[in-house]
Structure 1
Amino acid sequence: MTQRVAIIGAGPSGIAQLRAFDSAKKSGREIPEIVCFEKQDDWGGQWNYNWRSGIDKYGEPVHSSMYRNLWSNGPKEALEFAEYTFDEHFGRPISSYPPRAVLWDYINGRAEKSDVKKHVRFATVVRWIDFDESTNLFTVTTEDLKTGQTETSEFDHVIVGSGHFSFPNVPDFKGIETFPGELMHAHDFRGAERLADKDVLLIGASYSAEDIGVQSFKMGARSVTYSYRSGPMGFDWPEGIEELPLIDRFEGSTAYFSNGMSRSFDTVILCTGYLHHYPFLPSDLALDSPNNVYPDTLYRGVVSENNDSLYYLGAQDQWFTFNMFDAQAWYVRDLILGELTIPSPSEQRESIDAWLERFNAIETAEDEVKFQADYIRDLIELTDYPMFDLDEVTRTFMAWKTDKKKNILTYRDKVYRSVMTGTMADKHHTPWLSELDDSMERYVSAAPREKLEDLASNEHSKSSKA
C-alpha cells in the first residue's frame, strides 16, 4: 500500500519538504501520498505577513512574528537555495539584504514553479496527533478553520515543520503591571512607525531586539534602550541608543536597572525569545529543548529519538536557514523512501552524543557557524541535494558580523557574491537608513539613484519632524 505522509506547516521548512518529494518524483522515483496542513490562508510561515496580532480571524493564535518594515538582517547569499537561485528568480542581480516582501516572493516563486501547492490544505489546523504502536500509524486530527469540520486520518510518517518562533517566552518583572504605556512581546510587533518621538525600551539582547531597536531609531524614536541579561551586544551605537543591564523593577513608566540607573519609557517591547511548543503532540513525542544549534533527542537533527517515523525540520537555532531546511528535507525524504536507513537506538544515541560533545565545545560565533556548516554538509553528502561551498558561506557570515561591528546602521548597504552562481549582488538604489518604502515595487524599481535618495531623505526628514 502507498505510504501516507503528513507535513505540519507550509512555511520554508514545510515547502522544502514538498519540494524534496517533488524533486524525487521528477527523477522517476515513486513518492508517497503527501498531505500538508497549514493553518494560515497562504504559505510562507513567518514570511507570510499579516497585520493581525494575538488572535487571527479564525480565533487561532497568530503564527507569524513578521513586521511591516523588516529587511533581512543577514546576507541573502547565506540562505540561497542551491537549486533555485536569486538569479533564476529575479533575472538580474539584487542587493544582499532584501525586505520581507522580496524574500517572500523568492520563497513563493520556487514553490509555485514546483507545482506542490496541490498537496497543501490551507486554513487547516492540526489539533492532535496520536501514535498507535500496534499498527505503527499516526492518527492526525485536523480542523478546517473555514467550515469548522473536524477530520481524522492515518499516516505512516509525520514531519513537523511548524517552526519554533511563534510561542513567546514572556518573563515577569517586578512592578511591570504598573507600566502605563504600550507593552508587548516582539511576536506582536507589527511596525516601528508609531514609535516616532517615543522613548522605547527593548528587553533582550539578541537579533529581534537588535533589529526592532534599529528599526525604531530609523523611524524616528526619541531614544532606544536595550536591557541585557548576560551581556551587551556591544555595537558602536549612535547617539540615542544605549545598552543597560537587566531590569530590577518598574514603577509606573520608570524602569530601574540592576546598576542603579533609571529611565522613563513610553513603550516596552519584550524581545525575550520563543519556546519549543507543540500543542498538537503528546509529551512523549513533543520536542523539549532550549533554542540551540543542536537539540538533544533528534538523530541527525531531525529524527525523533522516541519515534523513528516522526521528524522535525528547522528545530535548531539558525545561522543557515532556507538551504539548511532543504538539506534536512532531502534527508528525511530519502529515509521515508527507504533509500537511507535509521540505525538502532543505541547507534542513534551514540551519534547524538558525538554531535552534542562538539556542540558543548563551541566557544565563539565562528565556531557555531562552522558547526552548523558541518552539520549541513553531513546531511547533503547523504542525498542528491546539490552541494555548495559551505566554507564560503561561513566566510560570508563572518564578513557580515564584521560589517555590523563597524556600523550597525549601514551594514545592510554592503554586498556579497553568490556562492551558488558567482554573481555579485547589486547595491540597492537607496541606503537602507534612508529607504522608507520596503515594497516589492520600490525595491525592484530602476529609478535614478540620486532622485530616489533625495526623495527618501526628504521623507525621513519629514518623519523626524512629525
Structure 2
Amino acid sequence: MAQLRAFESAKRTGRAIPEIVCFEKQADWGGQWNFDWRTGVDQHGEPVHSSMYRNLWSNGPKEALEFAEYTFDEHFGKPISSYPPREVLWDYINGRVERSDVKQYVRFSTVARWVEYDAASETFSVTVENVKTGATETERFDHVIVATGHFSTPNVPQFDGIATFQGSLRHAHDFRGAEDLADKDVLLIGASYSAEDIGVQAFKMGARSVTFSYRTAPMGFDWPNGMEELPLVTSFEGDTVHFTNGAERRFDAVVLCTGYLHHYPFLRDDLALSSPNNVYPDGLYRGVVREGSDRLFYLGAQDQWFTFNMFDAQAWFARDVILGDIELPSAEERRAHMDAWLARFAKLESAADQVRFQADYIRDLIEQTDYPMFDLDEVVRIFLAWKHDKQENILTYRDKVYPSVMTGTMAAAHHTPWLQELDDSLERYLSSPEPNGVERLVGDEAAAPVTTAVSPAAS
C-alpha cells in the first residue's frame, strides 16, 4: 500500500510512472491488519498471512507510526486515543489509499509462485496463480518489489516431550483471541512483543495464571499477582513443564511466541533475503535494494520500531530509484555503505539505541526524496516515554495519551480504560457511551487518562 501510494504521489505532481501490477494473495489489502479468523491455511489452501487476533490493540503509540502526509486528524476529523484497536488502524491505512485510484493496480486473490531474473534482458518473469480460479500466468517486469513483510511464517522450536503436552498448543501466528484462556494456567514461550501482549490479553480475559519463559533475559515488568517470568523451558512431561532453574509448573495452554522467519518461497536463494530479524538486515542497500540486483527491492524487511512511516520512506526511495531520479552508486560503493551501517548496528547496546538508529536510517532515506520530513527526534522521545510507561505499569500504559508529531493535536482519552474495554470494534471505539457500572463504581479519578510529558531524558 505504501509503494502504490508513493507512485500515486509522483503521478499527482505530473511525473510519468511505469505500468504497475500488484499481486496480493488475500482478498483485500491491509497485510497483517487484514484480520482473518482462519489459522493454518485459508479457504484456498494457502498459508494464512495475518497474525492478528481479536481484541488486539496497538501496543505502541499511534503518534509514532502516523503517516507524514495523511494524519489521524485528517482521517477521523477529531482526536482519538493513542492506542487504537486493530480495526481502527486498518480503517486509517485503508482510508489513505481509498482516497486514491491505486486499487486499480491490485490483482487480489493472486499469489506469486515463482520469480526468475534474466540477466540478458534485465527483466523478471513472474508466475502467479489466481487462487479462486486456479488460473496461472507468467508476465515479464523490469522491477520487482517484495512487500510481503516477514511476520507470517512462524519459527517453531522443538522442546523435549512437547508432543506429550495435553493442553492447547499453538504459535502466536495462530492465536485468535484470549477468551478461551479464562480460568486457565497459561505459558507464553518468548520474551518479546507477542508474548508480552498475548500475556496481558490472557490476564485481561481472566486467565488463572500467566507465565513467561525467556531465553536470554526477562522482560522485567512489574507484573501483577498471577503473572511471572521464568527462564527457558527444558522439557515437557504431560501437562507439566520444566525450566532451566529447576522450577516446574502445570499448564492448560501454551503459546509459542518464538518469532518469525524471513521466507520467500517464490524467489531463488540468490534473490531471497536471508537474515535474522534485526533492524539492519545484511544484503539490502539502504535497507531496500537487494545486493546483486539493482532491480529488486524489499519493503519492511527490518525489525520494526517505526512502522507505517518507515514503509513510506522506503517506498518513496524505491520509487525514485525506479523512476531514475536516484542513481545507485557502484556495487562496491553500495557494499561499503552497507558495511558502515552494519558496523554502527553492531555497536548498539540497548533498545533506546535501536530506536535512535532506526530514526537516523529513516531520516537518511527521506532526505533523498520528496516525502515530507517530520520530527524524528520527537518520535524517538515518544518511543522512550512509551517504554517508561510500560515499565511503570504494563497493564495501564495504553491509557496514556501523546501529542501528534505531525499536527500537535493531543490524543483524546478513550472512553473506557483499556483493562475494562472488551469491545474492540470501530463503532464502539468511536462512540461516546454512558459510563458502565464498573466505571461509576471506581469513579472518574481512576478512569482518568494520563497525559504523558515527553522528555529527551526518558530512557
With structure 1 as the length reference, what TM-score do the two structures score? 0.94
Identify if the C-alpha distance between structure 1 residues 454 and 36 changes in structure 2 by more than 3 Å, giving closer, same or farther. Answer: farther
2:155 is matched with 169
Equivalent residue, structure 1, for 2:382: 396
In structure 2, how many angstroms separate the alpha carbons of the residues matched to 1:283 and 1:177? Answer: 32
1:114 shift after superposition = 1.8
Q: Can you list the C-alpha shifts for 1:305-326, whole angstroms capped at 9, x where unaligned?
A: 0211000000000000000000
Compute the displacement of 1:452 (Å).
8.1
CA-to-aligned-CA distance 1:324-378 (integer Å, 9 cap, x gap)? 0000000000000000011101000000000001100101111110000000000
Distance in 2, matches of 1:456 and 1:314, equals: 43
Q: Distance in 2 between matches of 1:395 and 1:311?
A: 30
CA contact (8 A) 1:53 1:62 kept: yes
* 2:424 counterpart (434, 438, 451): 438
Matched, 1:220 2:206: yes
Task: Tell me what 2:357 maps to.
Answer: 371
Q: 2:408 aligns with which of 422, 429, 434?
A: 422
Structural mapping, 1:59-98, within 5 Å? 59-98=45-84
Instruction: Give CA-to-partner distance per residue, 1:74-128, whole Å, 9 cap, x none.
Output: 0000000000000000000000000000000001000101221110000000000
How far apart are the structure 1 equivalents of 2:442 and 2:150?
Answer: 36
> Counterpart of 1:88 in 2: which secondary structure?
helix
| 1:249 partnered with 2:226 | no
Give, in angstroms, the shift of residue 270 of structure 1. Answer: 0.3
Q: Is the 8 A contact 1:293 1:317 kept in 2?
A: yes
Q: Which amino acid aligns with 2:23?
A: F
Matched, 1:312 2:295: no
Q: Is the 8 A contact 1:37 1:122 kept in 2?
A: yes
C-alpha separation in 2, matches of 1:438 and 1:451: 19
- For residues 182 and 196 of structure 1, do their structure 2 counterparts lie closer, same or farther at Cα, with a shift above 3 Å needed? same
Distance 2:291 2:17 in 1: 24
Whether 1:137 and 2:123 are equivalent positions in the alignment is yes
| Cα distance in 2 for residues equivalent to 1:450 and 1:216 | 22
Unpaired runs of 5+ residues, structure 1, are 1-14, 458-466
Distance across 1 between alignment mates of 2:229 and 2:426: 34
Q: What is the count of residue pairs matched by the alignment?
A: 443
Alignment of 1:62-461 (within 5 A): 62-449=48-435, 453=439
How far the C-alpha of 1:385 sits from its partner, in A, is: 0.3
Offset of residue 201 of structure 1: 0.3
Verify the 8 A CA contact 1:205 1:228 in the aligned structure 2.
yes
CA distance in 2, matches of 1:244, 1:17: 42
Identity between Structure 1 and Structure 2 (%): 74
| Contact kept? 1:224, 1:242, Cα under 8 Å | yes
Q: Give the aligned CA root-mean-square deviation in angstroms.
A: 1.2
Q: Deviation of residue 277 (structure 1)?
A: 0.5
Unpaired runs of at least 5, structure 2: 444-459
Distance, in Å, in 1 between the alignment partners of 2:252 and 2:434 is 39
CA distance in 2, matches of 1:344, 1:425: 46
CA–CA distance in structure 2, aligned partners of residues 246 and 114 of structure 1: 49
Q: Which whole-Å CA distance do the structure 2 matches of 1:46 and 1:107 have between them?
A: 12
Normalising by structure 2, report the TM-score. Answer: 0.95
Structure 2 Cα separation of the partners of residues 244 and 170 of structure 1: 19
SS of equivalent to 2:20? strand
Distance in 1 separating the partners of 2:403 and 2:394: 21
